[in-house]
A and B are shown apart, each in its own frame.
Chain A
Amino acid sequence: MFPSSWHEITVGEYIELKEIENDDDLSFFGKNLEKICLLTDSDEWDEKPANQIFKVIKENDWLVSKIPGNYKKEIDDFKLIPFHKLTLAEWIDIEGYIIKDKILNVIALIYKQHKVDEWGNIEFEPYKYKTDDRLSKFENCYITDVYGAIEDVVKFRENVLSNYSELFVNLDEDFEATEEDKEFLSEKEIEEIKQDIKKQNERKEFAWQKLLDDISGGDWTRIEKLLEMPVLFVFNMLLMKEKFRD
């Protein structure tokens, strides 16, 4: 039975659909054929007439539609954490997951266990778990239950990066000397610039470690506590220090 909308697609299936969509070796028709095989769990489509497959593609145009953004704030025992409550550790990991497109890990991180404290406040579990251990809990939930939450956390990240842009240095991926550069710079100077950018990019890989080293004042025993601090608080403090340095 072919699904009739995004509401019937699990997160696991969505991830596989996305992998197919991003496969540059496949053509438009090939991608759709793979998707149909995936969603029907059958390879029989390989042998079916192309025109029949075209018909299925036409009838299921929801596959190219936008996924509805109304998401669930709670999934089983897990509740979506308000993003401003994310800790520095959670932010660092979310950054990595978003960049690597590991959406299941993002979901496993932002939906957390919680309890109501004696004052009636909702308290979220500390970030002591590995998201990898929880992937199976979310793999079979419907993509429509969580997709909007992922979009929102991505937007939140973009806003933070934009609001605190002074803290994040964008380095050139590569340096190619223009004709103008060649006119005014010697070959040695151009080579020095290239080496400098290369070195900075290599350092960029350790940007978070560098940040933690800076804010702990080099006292690594304090890093664990710092990682538990709300990310926005840390960034505000860093921005304040940056302003005063100016």
Chain B
Amino acid sequence: MLEYIYKGKTETLKSELSEITLKEFIQILNLQKSSEADFEFYLDTFELLGFSKELCDAIDTKTLFKLISDFKDALKSDGEFIKKIEVDGYIYSAANSFADDEFVINGREFSKIESKMKVDEFGWIAYAMAIIFKREDLSSVEHKDETHIKHKKSLFLDNVKMDVALPYVMAITKDYIDNIKILAS
């Protein structure tokens, strides 16, 4: 969390991956896509992550450069896979997607995620998390049920943070880039 005092009041900015939700991350990606300039993107992002509009409109360039630099430093991921999360009192586990402590996604799940990639440029990230993380008290039939996956997706959007999601997103994207694009071409 970065802090900035503006007009005698302390304003806070979520800057750690453990503070940013999946929903906010997807919003940031959309901002990045639609912004015509870098600084515009950062100002919109800072507003999304906690700063007031008044502060973002008034911020001077020197402070903005410093904030961007601090923000980038804080956003780093250690790449560690978190394999269990608790949401609304239930434990969700990604243990099935690991073999010898290595993240290994199975064919059917990858196929579903890739289909979502085709139609939802950034929303697939939340869908992928819903596919990978399975509620421990439910059966494999329920894990595969699309309605349940959809429910998990909307639950995770507000409750799962990017320190959990990013290593998975990076691994899936790497598989996608390494294999699919070469094959498809």
Contacts and interface: CB of A to CB of B under 8 A. Distances in A.
Interface of A: 25-30, 32-33, 45-54, 57-58
B107 interface: yes
B176 to A, nearest CB: 9
B115 A25 contact: yes
A50 B107 contact: yes
B9 interface: no
B104 interface: yes
Given A49-B99, A50-B175, A51-B175, A27 B111 contact: yes
Contacts of A30: 111-112, 114-115
Contact of B117 (A27, A47, A51, A58): A27
Contact of A45 (B107, B114, B179): B107
B149 to A, nearest CB: 15
B99 to A, nearest CB: 7
Given A45-B107, A49-B107, A52-B107, 16 more contacts: A25-B115, A27-B114, A27-B118, A28-B114, A29-B107, A29-B111, A32-B183, A46-B107, A47-B106, A49-B99, A50-B104, A50-B105, A50-B175, A51-B175, A54-B179, A54-B183
B45 to A, nearest CB: 30
B179 A33 contact: no
Q: Is chain A's interface secondary structure helix, strand, loop, or mixed overall?
A: helix
A51 B183 CA distance: 13
A175 B99 CA distance: 59
B180 A29 contact: yes
A33 B104 contact: no
Contacts of B106: 46-50
Given A25-B115, A27-B118, A49-B99, A57 B108 contact: no
Contact of A47 (B107, B118, B179): B107
Contacts of B99: 49
B58 interface: no
Interface in B86-141: 99, 104-112, 114-115, 117-118
B178 to A, nearest CB: 8
Contacts of B184: 28
A57 B184 CA distance: 11
Nearest to B112: A30
Contacts of A29: 107, 110-111, 114, 180
Contacts of A52: 107
Interface string B148-185: 00000000000000000000000000010001100110
Contacts of A57: 183
Nearest to A53: B107
A28 B179 CA distance: 11
A50 B108 CA distance: 8
A27 B107 contact: no
